[in-house]
Amino acid sequence: MDNTRTIDVALSTSGLDAEGRPVRVPLAVDRAGHPVAVTPPQALEPDLQGEHMLINLGPQHPATHGVLRLVLELDGETVVRCIPHIGYLHCGFEKIGEYRQYNQIIPWTDREDYLNSIGNNVAFALGAERLFGIDITPRCTVLRVIAAELSRIISHLVWLGTTCIDIGAFTPFLWAFQERENVYRLLENWVGARLTTSATRVGGMAADIPDGWMDQLRGFLSEFPRTIDEIDRMLTRNAIWVGRTVGLGAMSAEDAENYGLSGPMLRASGVAYDVRKDFPYLDYETYDFEVPVGTRGDVYDRFLVRMEELRQSIRILEQAVVRLPDGPVNIDDPRVILPPKTKAMNEMESMIHHFKQVMEGPRPPIGESYVAVESPKGEKGYYMVSDGTAKPVRWRIRPPSFVNLSAIPKLVEGHLLSDVIAINASIDIVMGEIDR
Amino acid sequence: MSTGLEPASETPARIVYPGSADPGAPRPATPTGVPHHGGPENPSAAALRARFPDAVRRVQVVWGETTVVVVGERVLEIVRWLHDEPLHLYTYLSDVTAVEFRDPEEPLAVVWHLRSLAYRRFLRLKAEIPPGGPLEADSVWSVFKGADWLERECYDMFGIRFRGHPDLRRILMWEQYLEGFPLRKDFPLRGRFSRAEQLRQALAANPEARYSMEELSIADAFEDLPPSMRARLQGGEQTGE
């Protein structure tokens, strides 16, 4: 390399200097003669003039999956540096939660990661129940597993479809969205809403499944694997797909763990951490399922991991369908759960309970809880602190997409601009959750 | 999951299996009947008390989760020890956040949620900032790169300055946001400014045209600006307003 503007490649791609501080070198210094230019690993030809270009990707761009803005410094077509900007969708969910009773927060959880709304409902209810010291009923446990896995299927299908569009494959997008429609129909028949489900309550669910719903679910479970196989045949060995994804945005296991990545992002890099296996909830340890793990941590591995997770979700759902016990959905505790409407209208005590539930809300004891679940994006945690009143002192969402996205400068630097789209798609971000 | 697509020259990647450091441990199970206070304590808490007797203020187990309240100035040292020590290996940082209570007498707490994947342990570290004390905490960015955005968010929402963070600036709110720190208890739900003032500022701002000084300096964009604007920006002024 006879270019005087080359520097140590390892130094520039990690973005850190010898002391571990980020390298911040303005180009002006480069003109003064210091060797600061970058030869990324995939650079084909250094730009003739050596001038870098600043490009603004987003916030209104169809391939950034929401209002994400990436400021990219390009050398030719190669990304030298990436500075992400977020916050365009910030609505202050955590602040609003401090002014709401626990059951009133559940509709807000629909709206953060809106592809996983019923999964968020389940996660929030689990967190609140730990704060209240409640153990839910066996039927509710299984229903919540069904809800969480259906929601994982929705989220992965949307990810699959949109990633296909980003990379240029249109047909699998239609197949994925058709199946997603089937899952939404199931949810609609269960809780009455498709996207904003608000399905759980502290201590139970808003509604039990209606008659015949299990047959609809069984029907879906028998049809859906065929679609996955079809998408699999279409993409997994497809030369264009492989060429557009293999080797892009790779992350080693150590780095992925250190950057706090979670979910398929972490597992594709070779860390077999799945909250359902390692810190189980909802009796996940009693289900028979595998945690797929990648080896190279690139976009292709993330695709393979998510495809396998779809199949594992079907496995879990099949077991849940078989084991769903009869019995009540809600716990029998008038301090937390609303009485049935007929009782509230006919018995004095139940009416008082109903009134106090609605007007004052259930009060947890003083304490705090952090409950994490394996959302489709990764470790989603709800940290709640109670001072004994009906509203939390602090409601904190640990957003997996937020932490996963924070690694994007490391993932895209050294890649081509067109690959930024594929890498960004592989993170599976939902801006509603990132900005909250 | 072999794909048959791996290049032959690549050495096989290391796969990290959680729980591998403690193979004799019982399989993790869904906790039930967890008591409000008490119950089994995370073994790392006792180790912390032995290793840092003057830095650990108290240990409490609430709803089965162990919280270690430590002296704020020692957090980085403690986190680094927990990360490196082969008997603990807290190699995963779940979350960095803060809690302010409604009672103004209560200290503001900065909270770190750590996971040891190798031992399948969960530990909450807390550092308390007394009322009126300096809103500062140790940054754990030098141990966990994932702390970067989490600490920026905590600064953005609470105004806590993380010592040693490489790039501590607002993340969810915009850099020129003047109303303060939204998650503080003295911050009203509707914001400090009137709706009219908020609207005026929102219309006056042009968020899409804004590049930071850092971004302008990395490319030729800075050179192309008129000299008067360059002078202003070099004086520390922000673009966009």
Which of A32, A44, A34 lies closest to A8 in space, CA to CA? Answer: A34
Q: Which DSSP category does B107 fall into?
A: P
Distance from the Cα of A387 to chain B's closest Cα (Å) equals 8
Q: Is A232's Cβ below 8 Å from some Cβ in B?
A: no
Determine the residue among A296, A311, A395 to mutate to test chain B binding: the one whose Cβ has the most chain B Cβ atoms within 10 Å.
A296
Q: Is A190's Cβ below 8 Å from some Cβ in B?
A: no
Contacts with B93 from chain A: Cβ below 8 Å: 260
CA angle A195, A197, A201 (to 5 degrees): 160
| CB interface of A with B, residues 71-110, below 8 Å | 71, 73, 80-81, 83, 86-88, 90, 92, 94-96, 99
Contacts with A52 from chain B: Cβ below 8 Å: 218-220
Distance from the Cα of A345 to chain B's closest Cα (Å) equals 33
C-beta atoms of A252 and B13 within 8 A: yes
Q: Read off the pLDDT of residues A16-27 as tens digits, 9 standing for 90 and up.
A: 455 655 443 332
- Residue B35 inside a domain? The answer is no
CA-to-CA distance for A1 and B63, rounded, in angstroms? 61
* Percentage of residues of chain A with pLDDT beyond 90: 48
Q: Read off the pLDDT of residues B108-119 as tens digits, 9 standing for 90 and up.
A: 999 999 999 888
- Residue A128 inside a domain? The answer is yes
Nearest to B219 among A54, A133, A369 (CB): A54
Distance from the Cα of A48 to chain B's closest Cα (Å) equals 15
Contacts with A269 from chain B: Cβ below 8 Å: 13
Tokens 């002014």 locate to A99
Q: What ipTM does this complex have?
A: 0.83
Can you say whether the dihedral through the CA atoms of A95, A59, A305, A269 is positive or negative?
A: negative
Residue A375 burial (10 A CB sphere; 0-12, 13-18, 19+): buried
Task: Return the biggest CA–CA distance within chain A.
Answer: 89
- Residue A87 inside a domain? The answer is no
Distance from the Cα of A128 to chain B's closest Cα (Å) equals 11
Q: Read off the pLDDT of residues A316-327 as tens digits, 9 standing for 90 and up.
A: 999 999 999 998
Q: Read off the pLDDT of residues A35-61 as tens digits, 9 standing for 90 and up.
A: 433 334 444 455 555 677 778 887 888
- Residue A228 inside a domain? The answer is yes
Distance from the Cα of B183 to chain A's closest Cα (Å) equals 6
Chain B residue with the nearest C-alpha to that of A130: B63
Determine the residue among A135, A382, A383 to mutate to test chain B binding: the one whose Cβ has the most chain B Cβ atoms within 10 Å.
A383
- Start-to-end C-alpha separation, chain B: 52
Distance from the Cα of B142 to chain A's closest Cα (Å) equals 8
Chain A residue with the nearest C-alpha to that of B172: A87
> What is the structure's pLDDT at B225?
67
CA-to-CA distance for A302 and A116, rounded, in angstroms? 18
Nearest to A26 among B29, B212, B217 (CB): B217
State yes or no: cis peptide before B166, omega within 30 of 0.
Answer: no
Which one-letter amino acid corresponds to residue B115? R
C-beta atoms of B120 and A393 within 8 A: no
Sheet holding A367-375, edge to edge: A367-375, A378-386, A394-398
Contact A431, A110 (CB under 8 A): no
Residue B130's CATH number:
3.30.460.80
Separation of CA A158 from chain center: 11
- Residue B215 inside a domain? The answer is no
- Residue B228 inside a domain? The answer is no
Nearest to B174 among A56, A87, A368 (CB): A87
- Start-to-end C-alpha separation, chain A: 47
The whole-chain average pLDDT of chain A stands at 84
- Residue B112 inside a domain? The answer is yes
- Residue B49 inside a domain? The answer is yes
- Residue B225 inside a domain? The answer is no
C-beta atoms of B95 and A26 within 8 A: no
Chain A residue with the nearest C-alpha to that of B156: A87
Which one-letter amino acid corresponds to residue B191? G
Distance from the Cα of B147 to chain A's closest Cα (Å) equals 8
Could you list the residue range(s) of the whole structural domain that residue B86 is in? 43-178
Contacts with A142 from chain B: Cβ below 8 Å: none
Q: Read off the pLDDT of residues A145-204 as tens digits, 9 standing for 90 and up.
A: 999 999 999 999 999 999 999 888 888 999 999 999 999 999 999 999 999 999 999 989
Residue A169's CATH number:
1.10.645.10
Q: Read off the pLDDT of residues A348-396 as tens digits, 9 standing for 90 and up.
A: 988 998 998 889 889 999 999 999 999 999 999 999 999 989 999 999 9
- Quote the pTM value: 0.84
Using only C-alpha atoms, chain A has a radius of gyration, in whole angstroms, of: 24
> What is the structure's pLDDT at B13?
62
CA angle B4, B7, B8 (to 5 degrees): 95
Determine the residue among A19, A244, A403, A408 to mutate to test chain B binding: the one whose Cβ has the most chain B Cβ atoms within 10 Å.
A403
CA-to-CA distance for A173 and B240, rounded, in angstroms? 39
Residue B226 burial (10 A CB sphere; 0-12, 13-18, 19+): exposed
Q: How are beta strands B121-129 and B65-70 bridged, if at all?
A: parallel
| CB interface of A with B, residues 338-357, below 8 Å | none
Determine the residue among A370, A389, A429 to mutate to test chain B binding: the one whose Cβ has the most chain B Cβ atoms within 10 Å.
A370
- Residue A73 inside a domain? The answer is no
Determine the residue among A29, A38, A72, A90 to mutate to test chain B binding: the one whose Cβ has the most chain B Cβ atoms within 10 Å.
A90
Q: Read off the pLDDT of residues A263-286 as tens digits, 9 standing for 90 and up.
A: 999 999 888 899 998 899 999 999
C-beta atoms of B30 and A280 within 8 A: yes
3-state secondary structure of B158: helix
Q: Residue B198 is encoded by which pair of tokens?
A: 């908020």
Determine phi and psi for A290, rounding to 5 degrees: -110, 155
- Residue A323 inside a domain? The answer is yes
Q: How far is CA A223 from CA A154, A158, A160, A322, A403, in A?
A: 15, 18, 18, 17, 35
CA-to-CA distance for B89 and B119, rounded, in angstroms? 8
Could you list the residue range(s) of the whole structural domain that residue A340 is in? 99-236+245-400
Domain count, chain B: 1
> What is the structure's pLDDT at B236?
59
Distance from the Cα of A185 to chain B's closest Cα (Å) equals 31
Domain count, chain A: 1
Mean pLDDT in residue range A207-233: 91
CA-to-CA distance for A371 and A279, rounded, in angstroms? 10
C-beta atoms of B1 and A295 within 8 A: yes
Contacts with A246 from chain B: Cβ below 8 Å: 5
Task: Give every residue of chain B whose pLDDT is below 50, as ranges.
Answer: 1-10, 208, 240-241
